[in-house]
């Protein structure tokens, strides 16, 4: 149990630091120090080093975010209401937390997609997981499969862009504007 806790602490610390500082600015020594994990545990759990740690961080975040999207969408049967409600909840949480938490996937993807094929693939899979949750909701609601897939990509892209602009401006207004456009998009 203790080993799982050390691994989890390392991944969670790395995720936070990747989001705050970026992949390249985050060193293994800093991750070890802030996670309070013994140096040996880093190499035990992540024998391939920082890249492996970043991949597992992206995978953990992708599972968490996918589950969160699915929970949000399951609150309503109507896809417009469900997606708007999910986005409105995210906007509210964003505003309450004052931009203090982000998702490390975007930071890792932007920094490493041209230099690490393994990290690029991990980020691609993460984004596909998010898109798939929206796609499944739309298919369940009667949308044709190809149209649902396209809309899943568009919705996720809109949200990613809105989060980036929200972090940049310090306001949830871009998320609120995306929410407002969902009925138009899903006509």
**pLDDT-wise least confident of 36-45, 55-64, 85-94, 96-105:** 96-105
pLDDT in tens, 115-163: 999 999 999 999 999 999 999 999 999 999 999 999 999 999 999 999 8
Share of the chain above pLDDT 70, in %: 94
Stated pTM of the model: 0.88
Predicted pLDDT at 108: 85
- CA 5 to CA 173: how far, in whole Å? 37
Q: What are the structure tokens assigned to 164, written together?
A: 């980036």
Q: Give the best-scoring range by mean pLDDT among 2-11, 62-71, 147-156.
A: 147-156
Burial of 126 (0-12, 13-18, 19+ CB in 10 A): buried
In terms of phi and psi (left: phi > 0; alpha: psi -120 to 50; beta: otherwise), the region of 91 is alpha
Hey, what domains does the chain have and what are their CATH numbers? 55-185 (1.10.357.10)
The answer on pLDDT for 101 being more than 70 is: no
């Amino acid at each position: 149990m203790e080993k799982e806790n050390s691994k989890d602490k390392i991944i969670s610390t790395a995720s936070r630091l990747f989001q705050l500082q970026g992949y390249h600015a985050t060193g293994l020594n800093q991750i070890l120090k802030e996670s309070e994990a013994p140096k040996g545990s880093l190499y035990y759990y992540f024998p391939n080093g920082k890249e492996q740690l970043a991949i597992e961080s992206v995978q953990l975040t992708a599972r968490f975010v996918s589950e969160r999207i699915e929970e949000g969408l399951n609150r309503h049967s109507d896809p417009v209401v469900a997606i708007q409600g999910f986005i409105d909840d995210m906007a509210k949480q964003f505003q309450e937390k004052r931009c203090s938490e982000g998702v490390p996937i975007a930071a890792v993807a932007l920094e490493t997609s041209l230099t690490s094929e393994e990290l690029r693939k991990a980020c691609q899979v993460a984004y596909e997981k998010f898109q798939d949750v929206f796609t499944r909701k739309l298919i369940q609601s009667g949308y044709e499969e190809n149209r649902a897939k396209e809309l899943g990509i568009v919705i996720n892209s809109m949200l990613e862009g809105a989060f980036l602009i929200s972090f940049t401006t310090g306001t949830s207004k871009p998320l609120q504007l995306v929410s407002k456009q969902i009925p138009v998009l899903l006509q």
